[in-house]
Structure 1
Amino acid sequence: MQNNQYDVVVIGGGLVGTAILRALSFYQLKLLLIEKQPDVCEGTSKANSGIVHTGFDSKPGSIEAECLRRARDLWPGLVEDLKIPFIPCGAVMIATNEEEKDLIENTYVPNAKANGVHVQWLSREEILQANPAVSQSTIGGLAVPGEAICDPFWATRAFAEIAVVNGAEVSLGSGVERIEKMENGLRLHLESGRQIETRYAVNAAGLWADEIAALVGDESYAITPRKGQFILTEEPISISNIILPVPTKKSKGVLVSPVVFGGFLLGPTAEDQEDKVDRSTTLDGMEAVLAGCEKLIPGVRDYSSIRQFAGVRAVCSTGDFVIRPSDIEPRLVHAAGIRSTGLSAAPGIAQMVVEQLEKAGLVLSEKQDSQHELPDLFVEEQETGEIICLCRSITRSEIENALRRPLAPQTVDGVKRRTGATLGECQGNCCIPKILDLMASTSAPVKGVRHSYLAFTQGEKHG
């Protein structure tokens, strides 16, 4: 098989695309992931709440609910194998009046039961004992012990890296602009001019999934972008759980959650828009976050913010995930319409996509030597003792090792997601110059295709 010929190409390097690449990497397949941005986790996946939902409130019988059900069984093994920072803190949905209590008891309790998720009612006293910062007006709430928080940056990168360790390739910095149908597969034309032939392709392009589908003449669904604005604070908040509102028809609502790498997250909003790349924050958006969170935790307006940001998630016209071969071109399998539960559902989505590819004719033969556990790739060198990021106590060695990984960062944001540098109170004002110096001096793979773990360990560079 020639260098530009593959069994499966995954289009999209977010949580869903990298999870699919990982799941496929355990089989004897030549694989490639294409991401148009300079790193994985650059789209919806980089700006979310970091919550691993159980799916207690998902519509029973939906594809989303099925993916979440599968994912619940897969997450414990993934956390262990890929060393993903993960805190099983649980969540509480707060009722502040009888109407919300009735909605919880008559809608969310039976919904959770239908989805196989354990929940229980907590009294006002039980909630305040574990979460003193919660509003005194609460009359009780629904505990969801299975909810957790994790690092979505780490998860995305780890999915991609274990796939690279197992022989998959990753191409960054150039997206798909045209898909040509061939007798035995598809020819993908990239923005860089590169042409790639593949027997099958997976459309995990997130907000642009409908545009990828349209490249083969498939207009069976449309994606609408929905912005969510967040506030990040490092003020101490006396909560031990994720604090959830009673959801609306439009979204899960504005919540307050611990962050696995420190601090607390407030948000998000749910603002439908036309622009898929508009991640701006606004005064109105910040006010909506504070007003929503204030109902749950009265003191939020007094907290200082170290960062405000926004993410844009995909809302599908079908009202559900789209995980199936295209009706127009069955060699293109969709993993589309993934909105707020994308992080939580990604492992289940990947499992379902593998099944869809097999039904479409892909022969799967398991590798005998594949690795499930991400190896410790830290290069043992004498610790310099130099702290690069003072806010997070990130050392020079930690950053240098991130720059030598199989999927090395090409941007400061990429370093941030792998090490935590720049995430502190100064937001990189003190450490970015030193990080740029290290990026310039460290021998890391350049932008393009990352090959196998063997190539990485031998120090091969790929252009």
Structure 2
Amino acid sequence: MQNETRDVLVIGGGVVGTAILRKLSLYDLSITLVEKQPDLCEGASKANSGIVHTGFDAPPGSVEAECLKRSRYLWSDYAEQLKIPYIPTGAMMIATSEEEKDMIQTKYIPNAKENGVFVEWIEREEVKEMNPAVTDKVIGGLSIPGEAICDPFTATRSFAELAVLNGAEIHLEAGVTSIEETAQGFAVSLENGAVIKTKFIVNAAGVYSDQISRMIGDKSYTISPRKGQFILTEEEIEISQIVLPVPTPTSKGTLISPVVFGGFLLGPTAEDQEDKDDRSTSSKGMNQVLAGCEKLIPDAKEYESIRQFAGVRAVCSTGDYVIRASEKNSRFIHAAGIRSTGLSAAPGIAELVAETIAQSGLILENKEDALLETPNLFNDTEESVGEIVCLCRTITRSEITNALEGPIPPTTIDGVKRRTGATLGECQGNCCIPKILDLLSEYELNRETPLKGLKNSTIALKKGGE
């Protein structure tokens, strides 16, 4: 790590932190991001619905609504520039009773209008024509044509890769242990023993952002964890859009959405808990997901799951995003309290954070040679030839080596998975993990004890490496 004082240190390698890093990399600044896990996108950013929301239902006048509004005008360009898989499917909020219809017409349509989002009520026949699998109890629905789906990990990684190509530094396995205020800004101590000096800090640490804030004595908000469990299925479902329920007071509800790489996602639950690290799934949670989805699509309980997972969302005591300079120190910028719309709002959050930093005194001058578009980092002519490593998904050796030679190479099994799709098939990695470990070792990216993904998620090997 370099010894000079950095202009900005971003804490947190999720989609919000990397979107901020990408934005700041367009300016003539020295910037660094630190992440405590072995890879980017190991928190809520990897375990969500992958939906890019319009903000039609966000509270008008909120910081969240403002960030979602800004993002609506950025996402399609970002997806093209950064090669993010992105499909503008639109969404349909299903009404199965007059009470739900009334809620849509008296609450959500006026709310969307106030937020500048086009929506319209459509009748039962049109809902069924577009999404034949939905329940026969449907009486109509709210069409939200601006909603889309994308790949959350590719978005997070692409934001980070562009920033690195623009000169940013990223340090993984570099959790923050303490922050000392200095005459120039801050001295940030990391778990690996290093100290980074920086003029400004952006706190984008997700569910841990309140703990980071307390390191400078800022107790202005508290983050509570809320677990959401999901089911991924590859069943054929006759829907063309994201199918939404009418939301509840605590959650957007259990939905069914297409996935950009194929299949469908069902979920999430909304389970308040105390443990910020508990991302376990349960039979109870899976049953809740299926029961909720069954109200939208009756066949949901019959769907075969190929994977279950859970994410932990950051629920803020303020009830809104916290994007502002700290009252304790104006050089410490909050990007916290980002609950279920973090992926959707990340581009807008980055814009607002940059403005906040400028208001706090950092001069932002455009970098003349800054890249806006990710160049083609892969040898496309080799992707479909050569040794096949992952039989289920037909992922070749060259596709994996391209990832290992990228700007932010993976060092874990999950890192390879999210960059290439390997291990995502029916065998869930049972056939290809040994070959992936060999490749990690060949590129000197392996460890004495290999990791599946998170810190301490070690993979037990038989003697002799078998």
- TM class by shorter-chain length? over 0.9
TM-score (norm 2): 0.94
Contact between 1:404 and 1:443, CA under 8 Å: does it hold in 2? no
Q: Counterparts of 1:108-119 in structure 2 under 5 Å?
A: 108-119=108-119
Contact between 1:254 and 1:268, CA under 8 Å: does it hold in 2? yes
Deviation at 1:308, TM superposition (A): 0.8
- For 1:162 and 1:93, how far apart are their aligned partners in 2? 35
Contact between 1:13 and 1:35, CA under 8 Å: does it hold in 2? yes
Q: Does 1:244 align with 2:244?
A: yes
Give the counterpart letter for 1:418 in structure 2.
R
Give the counterpart letter for 1:157 in structure 2.
R
Q: Report the equivalent of 1:459.
A: none
Contact between 1:257 and 1:264, CA under 8 Å: does it hold in 2? yes
Contact between 1:19 and 1:346, CA under 8 Å: does it hold in 2? yes
Q: Report the equivalent of 2:270.
A: 270
- Could you say what secondary structure the match of 1:67 adopts? helix
Deviation at 1:177, TM superposition (A): 0.7
TM-score (norm 1): 0.95
Give the counterpart letter for 2:111 in structure 1.
N
- Could you say what secondary structure the match of 2:73 adopts? helix
Q: Report the equivalent of 2:410.
A: 409
Contact between 1:19 and 1:159, CA under 8 Å: does it hold in 2? yes
Deviation at 1:394, TM superposition (A): 1.1
Q: Report the equivalent of 2:20.
A: 20
Give the counterpart letter for 1:65 in structure 2.
A
Choose 149-158 or 373-382, whichever is displaced more.
373-382
- Could you say what secondary structure the match of 2:186 adopts? strand
User: RMSD value over aligned CA atoms?
Assistant: 1.5
- Could you say what secondary structure the match of 2:199 adopts? strand
- For 1:445 and 1:325, how far apart are their aligned partners in 2? 40
Q: Report the equivalent of 1:385.
A: 386
Deviation string for 1:75-120 (max 9, x for gaps)?
1110110010001000000000000000000000000000000001
- For 1:357 and 1:382, how far apart are their aligned partners in 2? 43
- For 1:445 and 1:367, how far apart are their aligned partners in 2? 36
Contact between 2:440 and 2:446, CA under 8 Å: does it hold in 1? no
Q: Report the equivalent of 1:373.
A: 373
Q: Report the equivalent of 1:330.
A: 330
Contact between 1:10 and 1:204, CA under 8 Å: does it hold in 2? yes
Contact between 1:404 and 1:445, CA under 8 Å: does it hold in 2? no
Contact between 2:403 and 2:419, CA under 8 Å: does it hold in 1? yes
Q: Counterparts of 1:97-116 in structure 2 under 5 Å?
A: 97-116=97-116
- For 1:2 and 1:431, how far apart are their aligned partners in 2? 38
**Pair 320,34 (structure 1): closer, same or farther in 2 beyond 3 Å:** same
- Could you say what secondary structure the match of 1:157 adopts? helix
Deviation at 1:3, TM superposition (A): 3.0
Deviation at 1:432, TM superposition (A): 1.1
Q: Report the equivalent of 1:423.
A: 424
- For 1:111 and 1:199, how far apart are their aligned partners in 2? 40
- For 1:270 and 1:208, how far apart are their aligned partners in 2? 19
Give the counterpart letter for 1:36 in structure 2.
K
Contact between 1:179 and 1:187, CA under 8 Å: does it hold in 2? yes
Give the counterpart letter for 1:417 in structure 2.
R
Q: Report the equivalent of 1:80.
A: 80
Q: Counterparts of 1:158-307 in structure 2 under 5 Å?
A: 158-307=158-307
Deviation at 1:4, TM superposition (A): 4.5
**Pair 55,381 (structure 1): closer, same or farther in 2 beyond 3 Å:** closer
Deviation at 1:2, TM superposition (A): 5.5
Q: Report the equivalent of 1:361.
A: 361
Contact between 1:404 and 1:444, CA under 8 Å: does it hold in 2? no
**Pair 186,401 (structure 1): closer, same or farther in 2 beyond 3 Å:** same
Deviation at 1:380, TM superposition (A): 6.6
Contact between 2:412 and 2:446, CA under 8 Å: does it hold in 1? no
- Could you say what secondary structure the match of 1:17 adopts? helix
Deviation string for 1:139-163 (max 9, x for gaps)?
0000000000000000000000000
Deviation at 1:248, TM superposition (A): 0.5
Deviation at 1:443, TM superposition (A): 5.6
- Could you say what secondary structure the match of 2:74 adopts? helix
Contact between 1:91 and 1:243, CA under 8 Å: does it hold in 2? yes
- For 1:286 and 1:252, how far apart are their aligned partners in 2? 17
**Pair 243,9 (structure 1): closer, same or farther in 2 beyond 3 Å:** same
- Could you say what secondary structure the match of 1:374 adopts? coil
Give the counterpart letter for 1:60 in structure 2.
P
Q: Report the equivalent of 2:134.
A: 134
- For 1:337 and 1:368, how far apart are their aligned partners in 2? 34
Count of aligned positions: 447
- Could you say what secondary structure the match of 1:338 adopts? coil
Identity among equivalent pairs (%) = 66
- For 2:393 and 2:88, how far apart are their aligned partners in 1? 23
Q: Report the equivalent of 1:455.
A: none
Give the counterpart letter for 1:223 in structure 2.
I
Deviation string for 1:280-301 (max 9, x for gaps)?
1111111110110000000011
- Could you say what secondary structure the match of 2:278 adopts? coil
Q: Which runs of 5+ in 1 are unaligned?
A: 447-463
- Could you say what secondary structure the match of 1:141 adopts? strand
Contact between 1:11 and 1:202, CA under 8 Å: does it hold in 2? yes
Deviation string for 1:317-351 (max 9, x for gaps)?
00000000110111110000000000000000000
**Pair 379,20 (structure 1): closer, same or farther in 2 beyond 3 Å:** same
Deviation at 1:442, TM superposition (A): 2.6
Deviation at 1:379, TM superposition (A): 4.0
